[in-house]
Structures are given as structure tokens and as C-alpha cells.
A and B are shown apart, each in its own frame.
Chain A
Amino acid sequence: MATKQAQALGKWALAPSVAVLAAWSFVPLALTLYFAFLRYNLQDPDNTGWAGFSNFYYFFKDPYFLKDLANTLLLVGGIIITTVVGGVFLALLLDQPFWGRGIVRLLMISPFFIMPTVSSLVWKNLLMHPVFGLFAGIQKYFGAQEAIDWFGRYPLLSVGIIVSWQWLPYAALILLTALQSLDEEQKDAAAMDGAPAISFFRYIILPHLSRPITVVILIETIFLLNIFAEIKVTSVGGFAGNLTYLVFSQLNDATDVGMAAAGGLVAVVLANIVSVFLVRIVGKNLEA
């Protein structure tokens, strides 16, 4: 509906953002692609030239690769199941009338605003420490001889718990918002029909939440593939590292740019599989 003048102006208004975003998204990717085929180690500047597919070959053969890939998938899968199931429950709970709803809502949403480095260290030390931590204290109170050494024995689970704690409020907040858009009349009608709570949940609420749940799953997947600070700061990269951490350590510890770039490309491919679906869902909802 806009006039030609406005449209011409609009192009100039849009161009800077497109330019910087294009540069940001394509240049590093192209360079990563390029580095992935080079022999390029920061400690060994004389060893140069094309590497062919050997970076990929060695990256895939790295004993950490399969382990870290498995860790990545376990983390993403486990955290998503926890947060979505917990999120649905919390959303249903917060949708009920009760005293102090506003305050409880604030309490529940809080973990999402906590810096990842803070939550990692607080959980690792104050809560999960095998001797002085709160969990150990509780165990001892109930008469246990020796408390669980969370990060020593279950590093992956521990990271999973911390990240779940951070993302549970996210799922709950999104699903609550979706739940509140459910028509009051529909709820009333179901109540008038005498629908029992279970079938009301099964036939009204769950179908209504199916799309928001999909969105939560996709967005969480994209962010959870990139869990980094929680692993780095709690120093469990050797046991519970994921792909992102592996790329980091190839660059930082092994100083092998070529291998790290190959790993980066694997991460990109993995993330792209998810973002294709996410973009499609977002696209359907976008009025532009």
C-alpha cells in the first residue's frame, strides 16, 4: 500500500541491517568452511596447505567425538523432556486461581534471568558439593554415611539439572501464555458438559498446547545444542562435554584450527536440521 517513494526509502532503511547480518552470518561460515579444509595449527605455523577431508576424518575418529555427540543429544533430549513435562504442569498450576499467584509466578520465572556462569557455580558449590553442599547436608541429616558426589560421579546429569532449572521457567512461561489464550467460554462449556479433568486436559488443553510445545521444543533445541558456559565453568568438559565444548577445546587446548572448523561445521549442520522446522512454524505465524 505504500507509495514508490516510501518503498525506495524503505530499501535504504533496510539495507544496513541486511548488510551487517549477511556479513555476520555468511563470512564466518565461509571462513569456517575454508579452514575446515586447511592444515592449520596455531602451535605449528610451518605446517600449512590443503588438508582435504583429513580434518573431518580425524574429527570423527577423535574418541571424544562420539562421546560428546552422545552427550549433546542426551543433554538436549533430557532437558527438553524435563522442561516440557514440568512446564506443562507448572503452566496448568499457575493457570489455576490461588492466593499469591503473582508472587509465585515471579518466583518460578526467576531462574531464567540468572547468568549461566552464576547458576553453574552456585549449584556446583553451594548445593551439590559432596561435603559442604546443601544436598549433602540433607543426606547426612537423614543419616547417610556418604553424600553423593554429584559432579564427580554424575557430571552429565549435574549439568542437565542446572540447565533444566534455567529453562523450566522458560517453558512454563510460554505455555502459560498459550494456556491463557484458551477461550474462557471453551473452558466454561467443557465445565458445563461435565467433562472430567483428565479428558478436559486430554481433549481440550493438550491439543491447544501442541503448537506452543513444538515451538518450545525447537527453540530450546537450538539453544541447548550450544550449552557451553555451564560445562566450561564447572570444569566437566572432559567427562560431560558436548559438541560446542569439543570445538572450543580443539581450538583452545589443541590449537587445531582445521579440526575445530570441521567440528563447527558439524554443529552447524545439526542446528540447521532443527532450524528448518522452526523457521517453517514461525513463518506460518508471521504476518508480513
Chain B
Amino acid sequence: MARKISNRRKLLTTIIAWVIGLLLFFPIFWTAVAAFKTESDAYTLPQNWLSTPWTLENFGIVQERSNYFRYVFNTSVIVILSTLLGLVFAIPAAWSMAFAPNPEGGSKISSLGWLGIVLGSLAICFVALYFNNWKPTNAVIGILLLFIFVVPASLWAWSRNTHNMLLWMLSTKMMPPAGALIPIYLIFNRNGLVFRDWGWANWGDYNIMDSFWGMVPLMTLLNLPIVIWMLFTYFKEIPVGILEAARMDGASLWNELSRVLTPMALPGIASTCLLNLILSWNEAFWSLNLTNKYAAPLSFFISEYSSPEGQFWAKLSAASMMAIAPILIIGWFSQKQLVRGLTFGAVK
């Protein structure tokens, strides 16, 4: 600050800011207090939060009764694997858009290609009809839908230039989950019901509901647009000249990526991972809808306290503290780098 501020004004600001800061933080503080009280004291907390004794018993009970560590394990598996999987997709994609951009737009599909798509879809319909004893069922309609809507839309996306490609990727993050919930729920849930009259699709007993096989890819897809986008902005800050220097120095593409680009982008990759970590750790919509036991993460674990039996506030508080503490600390450390990811770069 170049301007001089009187100490009186500074004192006033300090008081106001601290009061507001403490007020906003208060619910978290209050939960922390309740976590260390006995169950009966927790219910009279407003009257006697200082006078009642402190205890650690809640943490033990939470673990004992609802197997807290199992949920931590589940959350960690989902968060870590989906972050890694996301990086596997996102690093090459972000490299491509930052350093080998395609100003004219991607591959346009030729008329021959379109002919192939139409003939291919007809052929698949034909096969489907054959296996269904020539009855025109929803299977045929499903396939036609795929080829009338999904394939052209995907090709449209693929033909974007780099700028529009990024915007398209971001826009996929804006799609409301309610629009995808039904098919995802059905695909995850029970084979027979989704495809109940899609005669050809009797794939046996597959069921990825409430499993890591479903949750990890789903979480990856949910955050992939933001991960790609954030990595892209970090890669963009690396001068192309340095990569060119590596090329002149005889580095292969692999060496260029592994010895020059990745080490230089490491801080950016780290903060991308952190944002991904926070987002998927706190994700609730899909977790509540698609898990209930085996792959249930912490947000599901907490939701189980919404209607338990008996006294539960102290245990709820203890469980809550255990669920939020890691991410709160990570959030504190990375808040400054998160802004760019949280606004899609629209604010600098």
C-alpha cells in the first residue's frame, strides 16, 4: 500500500474484519468443540461449552460403529485414482493444445467418412435386428440415436480449433448432473432394466453400482475439463523457446516432455491436482446417488448421520471434523492457486 493509513482506521478495520472472519468460521469452530464433548454435554453446548469436560471418546466410537477408516480408504482410492487417471488424459491433451495448437480446426470428416458412418450404423442395426428375430425394437432406435446424435456431435467437437475445443470441454462441465443422472444410474445399476427390451444387450451380471470401477472413471470425467483447462493455462506460461531449445539440443519428444516440460510445470501440475483433490473429495451428488456401501466415500458416510437413532451430535461432529480436516488444510495452503481453476480463468 502506497497510501498512508492512520492507525486508528487500521484498528477499526482489524476489529471488523476479525469479527466477520470469526463469525464465518464459527460453525466449523463449533463443530470442533462439540466433537470433543460427551454426547449429553453436546446437547447443552450453548449453555456450557467451556465448563463441561473435554473428551476424545467420540472419535473412537465413530470408528468403531461406522468404520470411518473404510470410508477414508474409499475416498482416497476414488480421489487418488481419478486424479492420476485424469492426469494421464489431461497432460497430453494440454500439451497438444498449448504447444501444437490447431488454428485451422481439427480433422473435418470427408463425405466418404459420412457415407461410412451411415452404412456402418445401418449394418449395426441390421445385426441387431437379426439377433432379435427381425423385430424392430428399441435397440435399433437406440443405435440410430447414437449415430444421428452422438456421432455427429462428437465429430463436431473433434473438428473444433484449439480455442473452441477448450470452450467445448469447459461447457461439458456446465451440464447439470440431473440431465445425465438417469442413464448413468441405469447403466450403473441393473443391466436387465436399462436394456430390458434391447434384446441384444444381455451382458450377464455386470453391475458397477457402488464400485470403484464406476466411481473412479466417473470422478475423472467430472473434473477432466477443469484439469485439462488448468494444465493448459500453466503450460501456456512456459515459453515455447525453451522447448525449442531442448529440440535443438537433440532431445526426443519424450525427453522434451519428461525432462523439460514436466519439471517446469510441476508447480502447476501440483495445484491442478490439489483442486481436483478438493473437488472430488467434497463431491456429493454422484456419491449419494451411486454408492451406499462398498465404494461409499466420506460425503456418503456423513449423510448417514442425517437420521440416526439415539444421541449423535458429538459423534456427528467428530465424524465431520475427521471428514473435513484434511481438505480444509489443503485448501488453506492452495487457496491462491485455486482462483484460476475456480473461475475457468475468467478472472486473473
Residues of A at the B interface (CB closer than 8 Å) are 1-2, 6-7, 9-11, 13-35, 38, 42, 45, 48, 90, 93-94, 96-101, 103-123, 125-127, 132-134, 136-138, 141, 165, 168-170, 173-174, 177-178, 181, 184, 187-188, 191, 211-212, 215-216, 219, 222, 225-226, 228-229, 232-235, 243-244, 247-248, 251, 257, 260-261, 263-265, 267-268, 270-272, 274-275, 278-279, 281-283, 285-288
Contacts and interface: CB of A to CB of B under 8 A. Distances in A.
Interface of B: 1-3, 5, 10, 13-14, 16-18, 20-22, 24-25, 27-28, 30-31, 34, 43-47, 89-90, 92-93, 95-97, 99-102, 106-107, 138, 141-142, 145-146, 149-150, 153-154, 157-158, 162-163, 165-167, 169-172, 174-186, 193, 196-197, 221, 224-225, 228, 232, 236, 240, 253, 278, 281-282, 284-285, 288-289, 298-300, 302-303, 305-307, 313, 316-317, 320, 323-324, 327-328, 330-332, 335, 338-339, 342-348
Given A9-B253, A17-B89, A265-B179, A34 B232 contact: no
B284 A229 contact: yes
Tell me which of A48, A112, A136, A211 has the highest count of chain B C-beta atoms within 10 A of its own C-beta. A112
A173 B298 contact: no
Contact of B13 (A96, A244, A248): A96
Kindly name the residue among B141, B172, B347 whose own CB sees the greatest number of chain A CB atoms within 10 A: B347
Contacts of B22: 107
Nearest to A133: B46
Nearest to A246: B178
Given A6-B100, A45-B193, A98-B14, A24 B172 contact: yes
Chain A binding site: helix, strand, loop or mixed by DSSP?
Answer: helix
Contacts of B154: 18-19, 22-23, 26
B206 to A, nearest CB: 17
Interface centre among A26, A119, A184, by most chain B C-beta atoms within 10 angstroms, is A26
16 contacts: A28-B179, A48-B197, A93-B17, A99-B14, A105-B21, A107-B25, A115-B323, A117-B303, A125-B313, A174-B343, A216-B343, A226-B285, A229-B299, A232-B303, A261-B182, A268-B178
Contacts of A211: 346-347
Contacts of B150: 22-23, 26-27, 30
A132 B176 contact: no
Contacts of A170: 342
Contacts of A133: 46
Contacts of B90: 17
Contacts of A118: 31, 299, 302, 320, 323-324
Given A26-B154, A28-B179, A134-B45, A114 B28 contact: yes
A44 to B, nearest CB: 11
Contacts of B307: 235
A26 B303 CA distance: 31
Given A16-B89, A282-B346, A109 B331 contact: yes
A271 B345 contact: no
A111 B27 contact: yes
Given A22-B157, A93-B16, A278-B174, A114 B328 contact: yes
Given A24-B221, A104-B21, A138-B46, A113 B331 contact: yes
B183 A123 contact: no
Given A10-B100, A30-B145, A287-B236, A271 B93 contact: no
B179 A229 contact: no
B347 A264 contact: no
B178 A226 contact: yes
Given A114-B282, A235-B306, 12 more contacts: A17-B90, A29-B180, A34-B141, A93-B20, A98-B14, A116-B299, A173-B338, A212-B346, A233-B302, A265-B179, A267-B176, A285-B346
Contact of A282 (B47, B175, B303, B344): B344
A187 B335 CA distance: 25
Given A26-B153, A132-B44, A288-B97, A122 B27 contact: yes
B145 A100 contact: no
A121 B145 contact: no
